[in-house]
Amino acid sequence: MTDWSQIEDWDRSYYLHNTQAKDEHQFTAVDRQDGNYIYLSNGTKLLDFQSQLISDSFGHRHHRIYNEIKNAMERYGHVFFGMSHEYRARAAKLIINDIVNSSNPKWAGRVRILASGTEAVENSITIARLFTGKQIILTQAHSFHGLTVGATMLRGYRNNITTDPKENTVRDVPGFPTAGFIPIPPPERFDFDKDFLPSISATEAMIKAVGAENIAGIITEPMFGAGGLANHHEYLKSIFALCKKYNILWIDDEVLCGFGRLGEWFGYKLYDDICPDIMAVGKTINGSSLPAGAVIVNNEISDFIENARWWSGSTWDGHPIICASIVGTLEMMLEENYLDKIKQKGKYLKEKLDMISEKHPSFGSVGGHGLFYAVDLVNKNHQPIISDDRWTSFQGDLSKHPNNIVGQECAKEGVFLGGFVPNTIKVGPPFTIEENEIDKGINAFDKALTVIDKMFC
């Protein structure tokens, strides 16, 4: 038997905690997880209606993924990136051939498998800079791409590339060791009622001001994950068009949306005839059964890197057990037609959200696709309840923020649900959710919204 008071004491004393100060830290210990449920140490059973961080897309400890991991562990421990192994090749073939290039445009050349979404983003930026020889990356306000800074900026080996291994043609990462990130406006929301997007004009103005000749790439999210914001349908198409017009790489951060979350293999697939140059993925790639991420690059960049000698890598690149978890996940998704399931269940979920939207004055709007919806909560004047909204810097008493109140109220009903920014609830259940479980989640959300109505409307 676990002594939970001892565990709490050690956790409070020695762990370096995320997002909560010592005095406000709530000890919420998970005893075990099974399928779509989390069992807390105090006996509470919670339906995971948010897939943890919109990450655990097949619930917890899915048997198919875990069997693949177990089998791999009978054969492999760790293999460093200088050697190959069965699962790395199988995972790469599945990702490039069977999934990304399974429909037009067949743009993807190669993939490198990493240990987190953040690393996938870091690699994307470095690759864009090395390939173009340019430094600047344009990045959207309100977006989220990870929470690290600077590993390659610490002097030493510095991720440089020898473009012609027979000659002395070393290229440092442009901009090293400075940052070189310039913000562009966030996209208009899905319900913006015009097709002319001011965000795109402002982005174009920024490109002209900075000079396209200095810009390596524009990084965007297909739908904001942390920020919970569904784009206007013209936005990504316009970003793609700008990238083509000015010869800038489009870096598509699909860490949260990729591999089916939005009902298509990737978010960019919601729109016809566009594709990224570089794509960062993670989370659903293996249902977050193990830490994983990957960077996928187009054919031209693949050739550039493969013909060069790029002095790069992490201890964990292409780790056999991570690759096995990816193989198990993606083979299952293909065999069991997961995209169809996501679309079907997503339709049911959206209908239920629309139904409760009519009952609650605090229910401002709902945007999303597949099995990811962002609900924006408003006050009686139909304005964001916490006025900073997505510009929040997480100050003050966060327990009074609607996202946290909804979290507390849903927990009372046995449902795990909440959000990151103050006014936005992120509904992103696992792909393994059943209709009766969607009903349970919606019922809890419905009750929580009654509390929000009373407080703010």
- Residues of the shown chain interacting with ligand PLP in the complex, contacts defined by CB under 6 A: 53, 116-118, 121, 144-146, 221, 225-226, 253, 255-256, 282, 293
d(CA 403, CA 416): 12
Among residues 146 and 361, whose Cβ is nearest to ligand PLP? 146
As measured in angstroms, the least distance from the Cβ of 117 to ligand PLP is 2
Per-residue DSSP letter, 185: P
Q: Which residue is nearest to ligand PLP (CB)?
A: 117
CB of 121 to ligand PLP, least distance (A): 5
Spatial contact of 367 and 190, defined as CB atoms under 8 Å apart: yes
Side-chain-facing half-sphere of 375: CA atoms under 13 Å: 31
- Alpha carbons 254 and 241: distance in angstroms, whole number: 19
- Residue 295 pairs in a beta bridge with 112, 280
Minimum separation from the CB atom of position 65 to ligand PLP (A)? 17
**Who's near 94: CB < 8 A, 6+ residues apart?**
326, 327, 330, 331, 334
Q: Which is nearer to ligand PLP, 143 or 199 (CB)?
A: 143
Which CB, 221 or 376, lies closer to ligand PLP?
Answer: 221
CB of 225 to ligand PLP, least distance (A): 4
Measured from the CB atom, the residue of 53 and 206 that comes closer to ligand PLP is 53
Closer to ligand PLP by Cβ: residue 367 or 440: 367
User: From the CB of 288, what's the least distance to ligand PLP, in Å?
Assistant: 8
Whose Cβ is closer to ligand PLP: residue 253's or residue 317's? 253
Measured between its terminal Cα atoms, the distance across the chain in Å is 47
Q: What are phi and psi of 265, to 5 degrees?
A: -55, -40
Contact 210, 183 (CB under 8 A): no
* Residue appearing with tokens 């100050």: 395
- What lies within 8 Å, CB to CB, of 242 at 6+ separation is 200, 203, 204, 207, 218, 248
For the CB of residue 18, give the shortest distance to ligand PLP in the complex, in Å.
11
Minimum distance from CB of 280 to ligand PLP (Å)? 6
Largest CA-CA distance found in the chain, in angstroms, rounded: 71
State the DSSP code for 98. Answer: I
Q: Which of 336, 277, 292 is nearest to 107 (CA)?
A: 277
| Residue closer to ligand PLP, measured from CB, 124 or 160 | 124
| Whole-number Å distance between alpha carbons of 253 and 236 | 12
